A = this chain, B = another copy of it.
Amino acid sequence: MEKTSVSKATLGRLPRYLQYLKELPEEVRHISSTTIAKELSLGEVQVRKDLNAVSGAGKPRVGYITVDLVKRIESFLGFNNLTSAVIVGAGKLGKALYEYDGFQNFGVEIIAAFDTNPDIITDGDSEKKILPMEGFEGFCKNHKIQIGIITVSDEAAQSVCDLMIAGGITAIWNFAPCKLNVPQDIILRQENLALSLAHLNNQLNN
């Protein structure tokens, strides 16, 4: 089955389905979307649509074969094929993202962080490596990094972005509050936390 792009809401529910399915006793060979909806207090139509997008329709009266459904969701989330990511900028935010272990539940593994500050560079053996920028482009190429996360200052963000693209990265998640110029084939996601808070404040005052 072709992988399709699903909504963020669907994507957000997939790990919940997965957890529920994996905790089922082995005897439960088949499972219906109705049961899943009930157990997780979700709407039946919603669950049916979600699972349909990921694994096709269940069989009438029988539902899904449990082990197959688990495999489908895992594969959809990229469990068999983790996408490798790197972070540039190992300040507080960069480190917080780097050490957060929830990303793997969505098929992404951050395998290294980079920084220009020599004081925070780790040695090669540590589990959460912070590497100097010198070897950045080569590292990205060697490890076939697909996702680059930018947590540097405004001023440095564009040049980091250019380096990422030179290293073969095709998707960029930018936390610097500035507009980046990227070629059309690069996927860019701009995260602006200050703006989220501003929006909340604006709602509060109106």
In the complex, A63 has a CB within 8 A of chain B = no
B195-A8 in contact (CB<8A):
yes
Among candidates B95, B97, B102, B206, residue contacting A5 with C-beta atoms closer than 8 Å: B206
With A83-B205, A96-B96, A203-B5 as known contacts, state yes or no: A108 contacts B171, CB within 8 Å: no
In the complex, A146 has a CB within 8 A of chain B = yes
- Chain A 73-96, CB within 8 Å of chain B: the 1/0 string? 000011000010100000111011
The complex places the Cα of A191 from the Cα of B95 at a distance, in Å, of 18
- Residues in B neighbouring A206, C-beta threshold 8 A: 3-5
B202-A11 in contact (CB<8A):
yes
Residues 170-193 of A contacting B (Cβ, < 8 Å):
170-171, 173, 177, 187, 189, 191-193
The complex places the Cα of A179 from the Cα of B170 at a distance, in Å, of 32
Give the interface size bracket for A toward B. Answer: 35 or more
A146-B106 in contact (CB<8A):
no
Q: How many copies of this protein are present in the complex?
A: 2
In the complex, A147 has a CB within 8 A of chain B = yes
A12-B195 in contact (CB<8A):
yes
B195-A189 in contact (CB<8A):
no
In the complex, A126 has a CB within 8 A of chain B = no
A92-B99 in contact (CB<8A):
yes
A103-B189 in contact (CB<8A):
no
The complex places the Cα of A37 from the Cα of B173 at a distance, in Å, of 28
The complex places the Cα of A106 from the Cα of B200 at a distance, in Å, of 10
With A92-B99, A106-B197 as known contacts, state yes or no: A187 contacts B173, CB within 8 Å: no
Interface residue ranges, A against B (CB under 8 Å) = 3-6, 8, 11-12, 77-78, 83, 85, 91-93, 95-97, 99-100, 102-103, 105-108, 146-147, 149, 170-171, 173, 177, 187, 189, 191-206
